[in-house]
Chains A and B, each alone.
Chain A
């Protein structure tokens, strides 16, 4: 790579850093996104200008084909399906990494990493790592996509001997990488890829559907490390810098998600809720205590006499597509000078920041949407907490019951509000299968029904 190209790649990398920096606030974010595009254009243009890249027609066809597919999908996807889309896109990066590694293996001179057909050992290690991580990312992301889209059961798929099997396969892979690096054997390369494809599948199937925020972040991270591995193979600083940036980003998001559930990443990867027999035994589910339930008119009356309302949205709101009706309800309340805010738990939804995007889509101003740390203290001064589609993130058992599977998880303190309204379809237990004490309290009113319809009925009752 000549000096000019090296400088250009450095500038592209800087553009990518600035793109992420722009995400520190919605005001600067769109400009940041444009900088990201600029960085990509610089990187691609520099590569197209390099000697040896001559098939412009073929390349243009490829970019146009991929670009058209990507643009159409991105424009048409519903925001509630965002987690699936992100998972699917990660799989493509993983697969691309495998193909680039394969290309480097079969034509190493094009990349300048071989002399007389002999590839340096370090390059072979990097190449196999890039391919392996890419393959794991590919199948892992496809499984995540399947679970999110409902194609696979969301429940964890476990079988005895799973962990020893995965460990054995991982060891086998390490052995193959060593063998490949010493012999440059093509069958070894493809065995590594096949094994990694299998491992990706095996690693993700035991993880339950509601742990997907961590999984998607983790796969985001892996796609970055795969790019890094390829970057080392090709001695390309743009790939290395960008790969490290993406890898770090995914890792930090995974950490934030795990802290939000108070579980370690190991605990999540090695099987989430449902895999633990003793936790299943502790589940309530057949609690016959009475709950106070009400109608839309009751809820409307309660809220109209309040001075402050905090809305707690969860995945159930997304499923019911209730965000627009919810915002209409909030608007009606605001017209009567009632203070309305939204409280977002870090693991609400199926992807980090998912609730925020859904609320933004419904035209909720982002300064009314607050994170757990910012708003938790305010529940004690709030008249009504309106919980729509969330359950485990409000459950006080996380603070009081050491036997509960959600013990230790930071929760939203809705129990401190004067009145709590819960929209649920029925008394069925939430994802964790844990009974929520709040349902049985005196100051809690359950609103049974579909979230979207309930919000619409409340709006009607308030007019």
Chain B
């Protein structure tokens, strides 16, 4: 199957729109939760694992497969670590108990 990559303009459009949405979404985060914000953004930036999986994917051996495997391990540390530590932080936030 012929894979036709998206033209640069389409990718760039997605990029610009994402920046705008990101701007407004991040400003809506309450300052009290800035640390969990760093935790979550760290975890989701590890979506780079997608690139690593493609590199580690092929059945035959190749140098890039080694690179891919290393990147999979690194990204996995971040994904699990990032979401778990964020969840730990968020679990601690409690309101005043209603008397």
Contact with A along B30-67 (1 / 0, CB 8 A): 11111111111111111111111111111100111101
**B64 with A248: CB separation less than 8 A:** no
The CA of A356 and the CA of B1, in the complex, are separated in Å by 53
**B50 with A29: CB separation less than 8 A:** no
CB distance from A115 to the nearest CB of B (A): 11
**B29 with A356: CB separation less than 8 A:** no
**Residue from the list A9, A52, A249 in contact with B57, Cβ < 8 A:** A52
**B43 with A65: CB separation less than 8 A:** no
B55 CB contacts on chain A under 8 angstroms? 100, 103-104, 107, 110
**A29 with B36: CB separation less than 8 A:** yes
**B78 with A113: CB separation less than 8 A:** no
**A353 with B72: CB separation less than 8 A:** no
B65 CB contacts on chain A under 8 angstroms? 55, 103, 107
**B25 with A96: CB separation less than 8 A:** no
**B54 with A353: CB separation less than 8 A:** no
In the complex, which range does the number of interface residues on chain A fall in? 35 or more
**B72 with A62: CB separation less than 8 A:** yes
**B88 with A74: CB separation less than 8 A:** yes
A140 contacts partner chain B, Cβ-Cβ < 8 Å: no
A33 CB contacts on chain B under 8 angstroms? 36, 40, 83, 86-87, 90
A448 contacts partner chain B, Cβ-Cβ < 8 Å: no
A188 contacts partner chain B, Cβ-Cβ < 8 Å: no
Q: Are A39 and B44 CB-contacts (below 8 A) given A2-B3, A70-B80, A244-B22?
A: yes
The CA of A63 and the CA of B57, in the complex, are separated in Å by 13
Taking Cβ atoms with an 8 Å cutoff, the residues of A that contact B are: 1-2, 9, 12-13, 16-17, 19-21, 23-26, 29-30, 32-33, 36-37, 39-40, 43-44, 47-48, 50-55, 58-59, 62-71, 73-75, 77, 79, 82, 85-86, 89-90, 92-93, 95-97, 99-100, 102-107, 110-113, 122, 216-217, 220, 223-224, 226-228, 230-232, 234-250, 252-253, 256, 344, 346, 351-354, 356-357, 360-361, 363, 365-369, 371
8 closest A-B pairs by CB: A66-B76, A353-B34, A70-B81, A53-B57, A248-B22, A103-B55, A352-B34, A353-B35
User: 4 more A-B contacts (CB under 8 A) besides A54-B58, A232-B11?
Assistant: A54-B59, A59-B72, A106-B63, A365-B96
Taking Cβ atoms with an 8 Å cutoff, the residues of B that contact A are: 1, 3, 5-6, 8, 11, 14-15, 18-19, 21-23, 25-59, 62-65, 67-97
